[in-house]
């Protein structure tokens, strides 16, 4: 049990079983190899951990354009209705319900929000869409890529007068930061050391394997903090590697490095 709790933040007054449930959720999702299979496994486990009646999933690209969607227990016509009309109408009446928002990875209060729909009324969206589906509570949350762009948004919906309990919220919130780290790794291509093309482009710099990984992540726009998290190293260690990279590439700043590495010329 102690080994499990160390993987999660230690919170006062939390039932030990919450850590076990959070761990089992993370363990199941770790078996996924694509964003879609990840969300499917997640919803499969949440069906027991935080029972819901319906769920909707929307995948987005880095420009917040929807690239795919699916529902669990919800009729396809409701998903289409949202995409074809309400997705653009909602921001005009209540921006907090909008699919596209200016969300930040560190702001969990906004990226994992529970809505009691009885507190809202009067708009077309509430009357025709929310009441039309018979929704009482919705728990929405998002996962991000390594550049801080949210890439999937999920809504767990209940049709009964049973709000999400404190225990359900605690179990899921314990797992959320770890799940987000797992999800963003789907967008980390890393440095393919078996690729002759990349080796020929950068071999003149004589980067170590770790330096090549970091250089590649920098080229993808990944922040130093996120690089450290992805590679499981200290921020100070990342900066030390970057200093070596600068020296080998003959540059003195990240901007100069990106120009040097992305110009795609062999010398």
66-113 confidence digits (pLDDT tens): 888 889 999 999 999 988 888 777 777 666 676 766 666 666 555 678
- CA 32 to the chain's CA centroid: 14
Kindly state the DSSP code that residue 116 receives in the 8-state scheme: E
Task: Round to whole Å and give the CA distance between 202 and 53.
Answer: 52
Question: Interior CA angle at 108 toward 51 and 144, to 5°?
Answer: 90
- The encoded tokens of residue 12 equal 């006062």
What is the Cα Rg of the chain in Å? 22
Give the pLDDT confidence score for residue 173 in this predicted structure: 87
116-144 pLDDT, tens digit per residue, is 999 988 888 899 999 999 999 999 999 98
266 C-beta neighbours (distance < 10 Å), count: 8
Share of the chain above pLDDT 70, in %: 81
Mean pLDDT, residues 8-14: 70
Give the pLDDT confidence score for residue 86 in this predicted structure: 82
Q: What is the mean pLDDT of the chain?
A: 82
159 pLDDT above the threshold of 80: yes
First CA to last CA distance, the chain: 56
């Amino acid at each position: 049990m102690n080994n499990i709790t160390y993987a999660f933040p230690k919170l006062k007054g939390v039932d030990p079983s919450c850590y076990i449930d959070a761990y089992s959720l993370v363990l199941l999702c770790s078996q996924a190899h694509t964003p879609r299979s990840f969300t499917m496994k997640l919803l499969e486990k949440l069906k027991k951990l935080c029972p819901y009646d319906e769920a909707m999933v929307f995948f987005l690209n880095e420009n917040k354009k929807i690239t795919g969607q699916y529902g669990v227990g919800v009729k396809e016509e409701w998903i289409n209705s949202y995409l074809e009309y309400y997705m653009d109408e909602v921001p005009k009446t209540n921006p907090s319900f909008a699919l596209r928002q200016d969300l930040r990875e560190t702001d969990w209060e906004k990226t994992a929000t529970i809505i009691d729909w009885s507190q809202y009324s009067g708009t077309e969206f509430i009357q025709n869409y929310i009441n039309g589906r018979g929704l009482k509570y919705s728990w929405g949350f998002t996962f991000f890529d390594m550049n801080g762009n949210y890439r999937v948004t999920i809504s767990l919906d209940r049709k009964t007068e049973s709000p999400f309990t404190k225990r359900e919220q605690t179990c899921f919130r314990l797992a959320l930061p770890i799940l987000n780290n797992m999800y963003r790794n789907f967008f980390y291509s890393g440095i393919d050391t078996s690729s002759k093309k990349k080796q020929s482009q950068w071999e003149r710099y004589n980067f170590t394997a770790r330096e090549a990984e970091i250089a590649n992540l920098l080229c993808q726009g990944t922040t130093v903090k996120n690089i450290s998290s992805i590679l499981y190293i200290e921020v100070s260690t990342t900066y030390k590697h970057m200093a070596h990279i600068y020296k080998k590439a003959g540059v003195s700043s990240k901007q100069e490095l990106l120009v040097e590495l992305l110009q795609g010329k062999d010398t």
